[in-house]
Each structure stands twice: as C-alpha cells, then as structure tokens.
Structure 1
Amino acid sequence: AVLDVEDMFFKVPLQEEDKPKFPITWEGTKYTFKCLSQGYKHSPTIAHTALAELSTNRNPGMAGHGLIQATLQKGEAHRHLQYIDDIIVWGDTAEEVFRKREKIMQILLDASFAIKRSKVKGPAREIQFLRVKWQDGHRQIPTEVINKITAMSPPTKKKETQSFLGAIGFWRMHIPEYSQIVSPLYLVTRKKHEFHWGPEWQQAFEQIKCETAHAVALGTVRTDP
C-alpha cells in the first residue's frame, strides 16, 4: 500500500531565527515564510527528516526512533519505507498491510499532517511507488513507461537525443549491458561533435528500445547457493 502526505513542506515550521532568510515581496509589501518553501533546495531533505523522526519529542523514551517505525515494528521485520512525503507499506497478507497503513495514517493525522486520499492505494499485489512498479516483491518498469519509450521516434538533434537518454536512463538497472548499448548515442550529444545520425546510431536506438520492452524484473538478492 502507498500513501502521500499533503503539502508536506508547509507542515514543517521554520525556527524564528531562520524566518528572515525566506523573504518574499507581494504587491510592494514584504513577507516571510513561516514554514519550508518549495523553492529552497534543502526543503526535501528537511521535510524527509522531519517525517522520519515524527513525534520523537512526543515520546522522549524513543529518542532517535520515529513513532511510525516504533509502532509498526513490535518485533516484526522492517516493512515500510518513506521518501520525503511518500510512504510504502508491505506485508505477507492484505490484512497486515491494511492494518499497518491505517496505523500510519492515524499517526500522521494525530500529528496534524493531512493525507491525500486520492493517492492512498492498496493493499494490492501490484502498486507504483516513486514511478516504479512493484509486483510480488519485484521491481519492474511500468507498462505506460515502456509504451512511451518504444513509441519514441529517432532523434533529429542533440537535445532530442539527450531527452531520450534521460527517459531510459532512470531504468538502466533493468537492462543488461546498458552502457555498452547506448554508448554511440552519448557520442551524438558531445558539444564538439556535429549532430549526425547514421546506421550505427539507429541500431543502438532500436536495440535499447527493444531491451526496454523486454526489461527484466528485479528482486531481492539471494545469498543461498
């Protein structure tokens, strides 16, 4: 199951001495933020940490441990992950996942966070988290991403080549020998080179699209023989 905290940055208050560092001017009047602004480069890190350490102050005996983890663990394996305002929960049964999801949501609501109901998904055997498709414990490329990449036309200039490489680069771990396959395409993007698209580049372009369409699913590492 997945869930999303609504307006996470605006839920993190600034310390009084930091407020003058976030000034804005609107219609001739100067203001300052009282909470994290979306344009500040460190806002994602601060927001992630704030949520990860949720309610440490409310539970002095749990210093260094977030309430979410402390509540869910109870002798169980670590079965939830958080990235900034996105949280994923998993388990062996739908009932277990539902119970943990509801506990996390209640903890967040009690701490005055809001939940985007439209982004609460699961329990389900297949779900998307941070653009990645997860099914039966395996990481996969979503079908809509594969369709988008395989439908791309050959680039006609450097910028289009860079956009294509950016689209497939995120999924490189799913494609064996990715670097070797796309190396001709990176040559096209070099500043000192004039854009030229010949048979070698077309072959690399078609091959990487084919490999993406048949990309392997990734699972956990097995240490047994």
Structure 2
Amino acid sequence: MNRDAVVPIHKMICELESQGVVSKTHSPFNSPIWPVRKSDREWRLIVDNRGLNEVTPPLSAALLDMLELQYDLESKAAKWYATIDIANAFFSIPLATECRPQFAFTWRDVQYTWKRLPQGWKHSPIICHGLIQAVLENGEAPEQLQYIDDIIVWGNTAMEVFEKGEKIIQILLEAGFAIKKSKVKGPA
C-alpha cells in the first residue's frame, strides 16, 4: 500500500464509522482494500469486491445505455438545462443486515463491514438507480432523466429549469438523500 495513503484512509474509515456507514465486525469473508488517488489528489477507499462480484447472482434489471440517454435528451430540444448530483448516494441506502458479513474488509488488523450500500459491488449502481427512480416517481417529480445518482432537467426558460430542479431536490432531501450544492450545475 502507498504510504501516503495510510493517514488519509485511516481518517476516512474513522469518519465512515462515526457516520454509521461502516462498523467493526467479525466475518469469515474479507476483501482487500486498495486506496486510489483521485484527480483532486485526495484518496478514495476502494474495497476490491471482485471475489464477491464473481459469486453474486446477476440481476435482471438494467441501466439505460448512455447513448439512449443522450438521444432522449437531444429530443427535448430545450434551451436550458441543469444537472443535480446526489452526494454519496450509495451511502444513503442501508445494506440489509443479513448481507453485511459478505462485505467485510480489514484495515490495520481490524475487520469492518459496510452498513450502507458499498461502492464497487456490481449491483450497487442498479439498486441505487432503482431506489432513486422510485423516490422521484412517488414524489411526482417533474420530467427529468436520471442515470444512477445524476439527474438532468430541462426547460425553455432558466426559471422553469430552476423550479423543476428545486422540486426534485426537495423530493430527494425528504427521502433522506443529500445534495452537494457545489455539484448542482445550471440552469445554463
């Protein structure tokens, strides 16, 4: 492991534990961790779930193809757009208690497991997408396009897009998701 990663990853795990995202555990399962440096020079905790992913049965649900989304968006022919990014969306979704032992990893001789939907598991994007989609549908959100935790709204005026975005953000906040204001772009 890269020595530069030790202190930041330790702080990250302590923070995730204090937030209830991970907890200490004893499990017969264990996946290695690989810290990865992001483009902003910060570190990301990556648990290598390849072994778990290999034995996880497939889901029949599928995500929309990015090209389909692009065609869908182009067909709107709107003048204004805005994007909304849900902050740490996976970590907003509880992981079933009976599944947690399978997601164990070890850091500094202490075994932890995820209490929230982990990054790196093959079904996390599909589960996240489906839950957010259901929240938006149940909240009667205005027309939008969604891909996992990214949402785009459009309209013919900046005010129309702003109002649609505000309605969607309100629905998401009421459902327990967090929005990072710096990642909301537009209307533009």
TM bin, normalised by shorter chain, reads: 0.5 to 0.7
Match of 1:67 among 138, 156, 171: 138
* Residues 1:104 and 2:168 aligned together: yes
Alpha-carbon shift at residue 99 of structure 1 (Å): 0.7
SS class of match (2:118): coil
TM-score normalized by the length of structure 2: 0.53
Instruction: Name the structure 1 match of 2:134.
Output: 53
Answering whether residue 175 of structure 2 is matched by residue 114 of structure 1, we say: no
The structure 2 residue matched to 1:86, chosen from 150, 173, 186, is 150
Q: Are 2:141 and 2:171, in contact at CA under 8 Å, matched by a contact in 1?
A: no
Q: Distance in 2 between matches of 1:104 and 1:44?
A: 20
Unaligned runs of 5+ in 2: 1-81
| 2:103 equivalent among 6, 11, 22 | 22
1:88-124 CA distance string (max 9 Å, x none): 0012222211111001111111222111211111112
Q: In structure 2, how many angstroms separate the alpha carbons of the residues matched to 1:42 and 1:111?
A: 21
Which structure features the higher share of strand residues?
2
Question: Structure 1-normalised TM-score?
Answer: 0.45
In the alignment, what sits opposite 1:182? none
Q: Residues 16 and 4 (structure 1 numbering): CA distance in 2 closer, same or farther, change over 3 Å?
A: same
Distance 2:159 2:107 in 1: 50
Q: Larger Rg: 1 or 2?
A: 1
Would you say how many aligned residue pairs link Structure 1 and Structure 2? 107
Unpaired segments of 5 or more residues in structure 1?
56-65, 73-78, 125-225
Alignment-mate amino acid for residue 186 of structure 2: G
Identity of aligned residues (%): 55
Q: Look up the match of 1:59.
A: none
Query: Matched residues in 1 for 2:185 and 2:105: separation?
Result: 37
- Contact 2:85–2:183 (8 Å) recurs in 1: yes
Give the ranges of 4+ consecutive aligned residues of structure 1 lying more than 6 Å apart after TM superposition: none
**Cα distance in 1 between the residues matched to 2:178 and 2:163:** 19
Give the CA RMSD over aligned residues: 1.5
Q: Which residue pairs with 1:35 in the alignment? A: 116
